[in-house]
Amino acid sequence: MVALAEVVCKTFQISRGLQGSTLNPSMNRLLLLALAASFTGLSAQESPPPQTAHGDQAPHANMAAMGNGRRLWSAPNGKVSGSIRAIRGSKVQLQLEDGKRLTLAIADLDAMDGAAVTGWQMTNQAPDGFGAPDVTITLETMQGQMKYDQSELTVAPGAKVRLVLHNVDDMHHNFILCTPGEGNAMEVAQAAWKLGGDGFAKQWIPEHPKVLHASPMVDPHATRHMYFVAPSDVGAHPYVCTLPGHAAFMKGELTVQEKPQVLSELTYTLYHGNFDSLPDFDTLTPIATDHVPSGLIDLSVAKRNERFALVFDGLLHAPKDGDYRFDMVSDDGSRLTINGKEVINADGVHSAERNRGKIKLTQGIHRISVSYFERSGEEVLYLFWNGPGFKNQPLSADQPKRRNNRAATGLPLAASNGETRIYRNFIEGAGNRAIGVGYPNGINLAFDADQMRLALVWLGGFIDAARHWNGRGQGHQPPLGYGVTQGPPGAPFARLESKETSWPEPEERSTEYHFKGYDLMGKVRFPRFRYRFGEIEISDQLKPYGDVLKNDAALMRSLHLKAANAPDYLYFRAALAKDIRVLDEARYLINSSVILQLSSNAATQALLRKQGDQWELLLPVVFDNGQAILHQHISYNLSNAE
């Protein structure tokens, strides 16, 4: 067993040599002990991992010693399958097979798990003499898509770089940085493919003059650190995965550019209030004003999440004469001015939206001002600029994660780790202030925060967010799944003098309704929306049941109303459709696809009536001691859910 560990030590030294480093004798001895302990544990725990045709371990095999790939770990609640994602101080973070992450104290690990951690640390340590990195870049593979999650990286000339590659895919991948030039990445990849049967042994890294730096091959579900010094020549350097067939899709560019001195003398002025648009700040009394500690546009100076406004003022340093483009993402309203000229205006209450503006600047100093307000919900403010010789330089402390450029069908979102997914943006059929909710059981909804209505319910896929990462110009995003059912338009509650009184016409934004935010409830973190209708405080909770895979996914909507002075003749509009059929005294079939069951604290009978060419289902709201409770159970007649 020790002899086997010695062989692996030599292999380990060869793989480290790809990064220009070797192990000293003491590290060799430590690794030898770690490997021996791990292999000994492996023989006692299970049979050796299966081999593929190329001699590498199968994706789900138990990997020994170096922490590459999944293995079994001893956790407080029993054995778990996972791989090391990161080690921070005295803790190790595992990426589990079910997608969750688990953090364990290294001191509590058994001998076999401790050996795996030791091997991982040795594998991912910086080469001798490298020192502390100037920058750490995190790159992740996209499962089943044969892509990196970022196609654009930026570093300064000569920077010491630590690149952390998380391979969450079921395939092997590597990272090779090439010399500048169109076609260089594919040329290097084709040279790698010519290695043929020797490819795996050589990590699919060819001896080629256009290879600058290369990582070893990273096993499925493993993390590998790569260290290199960035090129000194400014420009775009292509990077690529050279495993056969990957290069056409798995590629990007690392841009080397001088880091400009961007912002100086940056101050903030903070205001509190209930804002629906950017106010006239000259008429307001500020709460605080000071220099921004981070030196960037930074919402953390507000020290609150809702009902505030900020004005950032400072000096912007343009490195050259030329055209400059600014991109700003905000939720809610924002405005950018340079030298007093408006460049971007994204005023008003809205979900996160991206706006762009251009301006000509001369080399030197220019005055910049950014105004922003947040009413409620999510607070977002990202600002970055492009100019002569550089691109996507952040001017804000917070930055959106960069995605691969792709058509608006390439960034599907879904619930994960057993928790609900929330997505606030333009959703087709739910308006400009839509809140999308994707539940782990495969049922989804969109809540219209302008009208306080349940706008959409659907099954399967949640949302493809690609078009909203690619800019606001691509409009509203439709649901990704099937069985899309629309809720009634307009206000959900109304006072009707009689059963014949028509429902009020929808308003673009009713002045009677005020959205107050939402809470995430329970382990699943399902939402409970809070809003006010006149003097009525409403809690609107939507809880999932069942599972779409078992054909029994459903929603239970519970509305709790409180009012000191309960109004008379109040109705809740539960449905509006061309076809509504009565199944029994409490259940209704909507357009042959959705089954709606209604109940209330007063056990009142719903009113089904004809309105033009559609049917309308209303439920009377009866208050008892200032409170009323309504329940709306929503499920699918799956034989007709298209």
Closest CA to 466 of 455, 456, 475, 457: 475
The answer to whether residues 590 and 580 touch, using CB atoms and an 8 Å cutoff, is: yes
Instruction: Give the rounded percent of residues in the chain with a pLDDT score beyond 90.
Output: 43
Which pLDDT score is estimated for 17?
A: 39
Q: Is the pLDDT of residue 284 over 60?
A: yes
Query: Which comes out higher in pLDDT, residue 509 or 603?
Result: 603
Q: Are strands 513-521 and 580-582 parallel, antiparallel or unpaired?
A: unpaired
Q: Is the pLDDT of residue 233 over 90?
A: no
Q: What is the DSSP string of 22-69?
A: ---HHHHHHHHHHHHHHHHHHHHHSPPPPB-TTSPBPTTSPPPSS--S
Q: Is the pLDDT of residue 119 over 70?
A: yes
Query: Which comes out higher in pLDDT, residue 591 or 210?
Result: 210
Q: Is the pLDDT of residue 23 over 60?
A: no
Task: Indicate the SS3 state at residue 89.
Answer: coil
The answer to whether residues 81 and 116 touch, using CB atoms and an 8 Å cutoff, is: no
Query: Which comes out higher in pLDDT, residue 399 or 172?
Result: 172
Q: Is the pLDDT of residue 334 over 80?
A: yes
Burial (CB count within 10 angstroms: exposed 0-12, middle 13-18, buried 19+), residue 561: buried
pLDDT band at 262 (very low <50, low <70, confident <90, very high): confident
Which pLDDT score is estimated for 351?
A: 77
Spatial separation of the C-alpha atoms in residues 640 and 642, rounded to whole Å: 6
- How far, CA to CA in Å, does 333 sit from each of 327, 345, 427, 552? 14, 8, 19, 41
Closest CA to 217 of 64, 69, 49, 92: 69
Per-residue pLDDT, averaged over 118-141, amounts to 88
Tell me the two tokens of residue 314.
């400072």
Which pLDDT score is estimated for 481?
A: 75
pLDDT band at 414 (very low <50, low <70, confident <90, very high): low
Q: Is the pLDDT of residue 461 over 60?
A: yes
Average model confidence (pLDDT) across the chain: 81
Tell me the two tokens of residue 548.
């779409």
Which pLDDT score is estimated for 277?
A: 94
pLDDT band at 616 (very low <50, low <70, confident <90, very high): very high
Phi/psi for 480 (5° steps) reads -90, -20
Per-residue pLDDT, averaged over 321-330, amounts to 92
Closest CA to 333 of 303, 374, 367, 301: 374
Phi/psi for 51 (5° steps) reads -105, 145
- How far, CA to CA in Å, does 542 sit from each of 469, 500, 634? 28, 30, 10
Spatial separation of the C-alpha atoms in residues 563 and 517, rounded to whole Å: 19
Strand partners, 240: 176, 251
Q: What is the CATH number of domain 263-394?
A: 2.60.120.260
Of the listed ranges 86-100, 138-152, 387-401, the least confidently predicted one is 387-401
Which pLDDT score is estimated for 408?
A: 35
Q: Give residue for tokens 């960069």.
A: 402
User: What DSSP element (H or E) covers 116?
Assistant: helix 111-123
Domain boundaries, the chain: 2-123, 135-256, 263-394, 412-640
Per-residue pLDDT, averaged over 629-640, amounts to 80
Q: Is the pLDDT of residue 61 over 70?
A: no
Query: Which comes out higher in pLDDT, residue 376 or 414?
Result: 376
Which pLDDT score is estimated for 43?
A: 31
Which pLDDT score is estimated for 466?
A: 57
Closest CA to 319 of 359, 361, 360, 363: 363
Spatial separation of the C-alpha atoms in residues 99 and 245, rounded to whole Å: 27
Q: pLDDT, tens digit, for every residue of 517-559?
A: 888 888 888 899 999 999 999 999 999 988 877 778 899 999 9
User: What DSSP element (H or E) covers 147?
Assistant: strand 147-148
Query: Which comes out higher in pLDDT, residue 482 or 631?
Result: 631
Spatial separation of the C-alpha atoms in residues 531 and 36, rounded to whole Å: 62
CATH architecture of the domain 2-123 equals: Roll (2.30)
Which pLDDT score is estimated for 580?
A: 93
Strand partners, 178: 211
Phi/psi for 441 (5° steps) reads -85, 5
Q: What is the largest CA-CA distance in the chain?
A: 91
Query: Which comes out higher in pLDDT, residue 192 or 31?
Result: 192
Per-residue pLDDT, averaged over 447-457, amounts to 92
- Whole-number CA gyration radius for the chain: 29
**Residue 7, number of CB atoms within 10 A of its CB:** 10
Q: Is the pLDDT of residue 58 over 60?
A: no
Of the listed ranges 369-383, 414-428, 574-588, the least confidently predicted one is 414-428
The answer to whether residues 623 and 563 touch, using CB atoms and an 8 Å cutoff, is: yes
Q: Is the pLDDT of residue 115 over 80?
A: yes
Per-residue pLDDT, averaged over 388-403, amounts to 68
Q: pLDDT, tens digit, for every residue of 493-519?
A: 999 988 889 998 887 766 788 998 888
pLDDT band at 402 (very low <50, low <70, confident <90, very high): very low
Domain 2-123 shares a fold with domain 135-256:
no
Instruction: Give the rounded percent of residues in the chain with a pLDDT score beyond 70.
Output: 83
Which pLDDT score is estimated for 506?
A: 80
Q: Give residue for tokens 């800019």.
A: 471
Which pLDDT score is estimated for 412?
A: 56
pLDDT band at 417 (very low <50, low <70, confident <90, very high): low
- How far, CA to CA in Å, does 122 sit from each of 26, 34, 180? 12, 10, 32
pLDDT band at 459 (very low <50, low <70, confident <90, very high): confident
Spatial separation of the C-alpha atoms in residues 221 and 59, rounded to whole Å: 7
Which pLDDT score is estimated for 259?
A: 63
3-state secondary structure 602-616: CCCCCEEEEECCEEE
The answer to whether residues 561 and 627 touch, using CB atoms and an 8 Å cutoff, is: yes
Q: pLDDT, tens digit, for every residue of 153-187?
A: 878 899 899 999 999 888 899 999 999 999 999 99
Tell me the two tokens of residue 448.
């219209």
Number of residues assigned to the chain: 642
Q: Is the pLDDT of residue 149 over 80?
A: yes
pLDDT band at 293 (very low <50, low <70, confident <90, very high): confident
Closest CA to 152 of 385, 470, 405: 405
Per-residue pLDDT, averaged over 278-303, amounts to 88
Query: Which comes out higher in pLDDT, residue 228 or 480?
Result: 228
Give CATH superfamily name and number for 135-256: Cupredoxins -  blue copper proteins (2.60.40.420)
Of the listed ranges 82-91, 390-399, 480-489, the least confidently predicted one is 390-399
Q: Is the pLDDT of residue 401 over 80?
A: no
Per-residue pLDDT, averaged over 388-395, amounts to 77
